[in-house]
Structure 1
Amino acid sequence: MDDTTKRRKSAHAKRPPRVLAVASSGGHWAELLRLTPAWEGCELVYATTDPALEADMAGHGAARFVAIPDASRWSRWRLVRLVAHLAWQMVRLRPDVIVSTGAAPGYVALRLGRLVGARGIWVDSVANAGALSMSGRMAGPHCDLWLTQWPHLGREATGASEGPEYSGSVL
């Protein structure tokens, strides 16, 4: 192990894990906030697409808030802007873990997080009762933990060797 790696590991040992929680506004955001107790003891940074949602942070302790651009597969230029903004946040925040409930901003954050060594967690939205979301299907293979909130969509129920795990519902 070289000196740089030793210093980096030493610095991480001195601070709690940094979690970047990313979601689009609306239902994705509501579900993400419900996961807050899971990150107790961590340095928590929330990111979403509606700056007005910073008001939701009042009940979430010392969590920080970052507004990010909104984008979807139908808005290519907005996607470019989102990628650039999230790339800057990855460099600035250096998260250890990225967690998302969807949609496009969460997928982009998870993919970019890999470049800075962050682990990824995807929790597919409870709204996707019939099938996994497109973002979830795309993000899942790139995550360390991929979860669905519906038992019949979990890999145990489908008999698949790959796919999301079912461990319960956020709501």
Structure 2
Amino acid sequence: MKLCFAASSGGHLEQIMMLHPMMKEHESFIFTEKTNYKFDTKGIRNYTVTQINRRELLFVLKLCVIFIQALVIFLREKPDVVISTGALATVPICLLAKLFRKKVIFIESFSKINSPTITGRLMYKYADLFLVQWEEMKKFYPNSTYGGGIY
């Protein structure tokens, strides 16, 4: 089984890297944003896409570019499952997984205790398994699974 671990840079990437033991157990790759932020892939193959912010003037254009980048990566790697901690840059690869009838696991951010993320609200509709790290988040995502913190 091939796994794609998708996360934007910063805290989302730090959270997904907590799943490194799972990455080592399966054929895996990391999908993230290209930034100046340096991280240790711990030997796991990784791909980067354009960084995006929803408040940017070129938001729609950049999202289209990321969708094309994600499609190329998806077709090259052919993952069976996409596991994501968000945020926005990961939405295209998650939606491509659904389009190609692959599984999507979304893990809502550890930093969200009292309110949902924008990406979480979107992915809740599409994820095959939606995990929350705080029991309080079940009120926003009633069909989610409480998995505890990944830290």
Q: Could you state the TM-score of these two structures normalised by the residue count of structure 2?
A: 0.88
What SS does the aligned partner of 2:52 have?
A: coil
> How much does 1:39 deviate?
3.7
Matched with 1:119 is 103
Q: Is 1:92 equivalent to 2:92 in the alignment?
A: no
Give the whole-Å Cα distance in 2 for the aligned partners of 1:99 and 1:93: 14
Matched, 1:167 2:147: yes
Instruction: Tell me, in whole angstroms, the C-alpha distance in 2 between the residues paired with 1:159 and 1:130.
Output: 9
| Superposed CA RMSD | 1.9
Residue correspondence of structure 1 range 102-117 to structure 2 within 5 A? 102-117=86-101
Structure 1 residue 132 displacement after superposition: 1.4
Offset of 1:55 from its aligned partner?
A: 4.8
Percent pairwise identity = 24
Q: CA-to-partner distance for each residue in 1:137-162, whole Å, 9 max, x for gaps? A: 100121111011111112xxx397x4
User: Which residue identity is paired with 2:100?
Assistant: V
Counterpart CA distance in 2 for 1:164 and 1:137 is 11
Q: 1:130 aligns with which of 85, 101, 114?
A: 114
In the aligned structure 2, how far is the partner of 1:71 from the partner of 1:167?
A: 28
Give me the whole-angstrom Cα distance separating, in 1, the residues matched to 2:62 and 2:144: 29
Quote the residue 1:76 is aligned against.
60
SS at match of 1:22: strand
Aligned to 1:45: 29
C-alpha separation in 2, matches of 1:71 and 1:30? 18
- Residue equivalent to 1:14: none
Contact 1:22 1:102 in 2 (8 A): yes
Q: Give the corresponding residue for 1:13.
A: none
Kindly report which structure 2 residues correspond to 1:24-35, keeping only aligned pairs within 5 A, or say none. 24-35=8-19
**Bigger proportion of residues as helix:** 1
Distance 1:53 1:117 in 2: 32
Q: Relative contact order, CA 8 A, sep 6+: which one is greater?
A: 2
Tell which structure's C-alpha radius of gyration is larger.
1
**Structure-2 residue corresponding to 1:18:** 2
CA gap of 1:51–1:73, structure 2 versus 1, over 3 A, is closer
Query: Matched residue of 2:6: which SS?
Result: strand
Paired residue type of 2:78 = R
Deviation for aligned residue 1:47: 1.3
SS in 2 for 1:141: coil
Output the TM-score relative to the length of structure 1. Answer: 0.79
